[in-house]
């Protein structure tokens, strides 16, 4: 693998192919075997302008730490999840949770880049904390949706999603607000030794709360998923809340 960057450079030079047009796919097994060495090779390829793709994510030794440690341009979710989309509710939930979580991580890392906060042990700890917060909110969202889909079997999907969001909205807002209040003292004081930790966590909590409400469940409708029932009855939301 040591010669891979050199071989790729020679192929690009001989063929005249633009580096950004070339995508190299790697599997998680490669990362596990030689993580430090592999990272050096991947960075060398990235410096050439080549795009790096992680294939079959979600199987084997899947770890979200790969998304932070390696410079991937694209993430391919394993086909075992994709085959069941629209048919297997569990596969749907996993894929949506991965997408929403990736959304939160990318925005949080972007926040560090824009604000030029040093990527240190504190900021990494903050990102891991955001991952935990975000995943917890997604699990609650899909669990509530699953319960309501079983309860309202003939109701249009969009209405069930709205009901599920409304039922947990107050809890989500209270949880996020409480966490932000606890962090506000340090966030409002840039000279604080914990500023990189608390600022990153605060931004991540905002993004995680936003994506839990406006990304995780609504993406179902963007995919065009529909219920099989042709005849649907509307929910009386006032009655449903009692």
The pLDDT of 225-240, averaged and rounded, is 48
Query: Both 115 and 172 in a single domain?
Result: yes
Asked if residue 221 has pLDDT above 80, the reply is no
Q: 195 and 157: one domain?
A: yes
Q: Same domain, yes or no, for 116 and 213?
A: yes
Segment 138-160 mean pLDDT: 83
**Is the confidence at residue 153, as pLDDT, over 70?**
yes
State which of 74-78, 172-176, 235-239 shows the largest mean pLDDT: 172-176
Task: Give the residue numbers spanning the domain of 41.
Answer: 1-77
pLDDT score at 230: 42
Other C-beta atoms closer than 10 Å to the C-beta of 72 total: 17
Mean pLDDT of 77-94: 56
Lowest mean pLDDT across 124-128, 152-156, 211-215, 233-237: 233-237
Q: Is residue 134 part of a domain?
A: yes
205-219 average pLDDT score: 83
CA-to-CA separations, 210 to 108, 174, 218, 228, in angstroms, rounded:
13, 13, 12, 29
In a domain, 86, yes or no: no
- Name which residue leads in pLDDT, 36 or 235: 36
Residue that terminates a domain, selected from 15, 45, 77 = 77
Domain assignment of residue 148, yes or no: yes
Instruction: Give the integer Cα–Cα distance in Å for 205 and 207.
Output: 5
> Which of 44, 77, 110 represents a domain boundary (last residue)?
77
Domain count, the chain: 2
190 in the same domain as 95: yes
Domain co-membership, 105 together with 187: yes
Considering the domain architecture, whether residues 139 and 208 belong to the same structural domain is answered as yes
């Amino acid at each position: 693998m040591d010669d891979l960057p050199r071989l790729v450079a020679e192929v690009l030079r001989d063929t005249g192919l633009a580096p950004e047009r070339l995508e190299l796919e790697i599997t998680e097994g490669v990362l596990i075997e030689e993580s430090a060495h592999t990272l050096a090779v991947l960075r060398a390829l990235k410096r050439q302008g080549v795009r790096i793709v992680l294939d079959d994510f979600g199987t084997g030794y899947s770890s979200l730490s790969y998304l932070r440690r390696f410079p991937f341009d694209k993430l391919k979710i394993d086909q075992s999840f994709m085959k069941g989309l629209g048919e297997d509710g569990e596969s749907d939930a996993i894929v949506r949770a991965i997408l929403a979580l990736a959304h939160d991580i990318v925005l949080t890392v972007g926040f560090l880049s824009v604000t030029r906060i040093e990527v240190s042990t504190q900021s990494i700890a903050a990102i891991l904390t955001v991952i935990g917060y975000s995943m917890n909110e997604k699990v609650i969202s899909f669990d509530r949706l699953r319960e309501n889909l079983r309860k309202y079997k003939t109701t249009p999907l969009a209405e069930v999603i709205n009901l599920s969001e409304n039922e947990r909205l107050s809890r989500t807002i209270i949880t996020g607000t409480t966490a932000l209040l606890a962090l506000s003292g340090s966030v409002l004081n840039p000279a604080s030794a914990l500023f990189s930790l608390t600022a990153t966590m605060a931004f991540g909590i905002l993004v995680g709360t936003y994506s839990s409400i406006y990304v995780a469940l609504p993406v179902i409708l963007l995919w065009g998923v529909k219920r099989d029932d042709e005849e649907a009855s509307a929910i009386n939301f006032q009655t449903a809340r009692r």
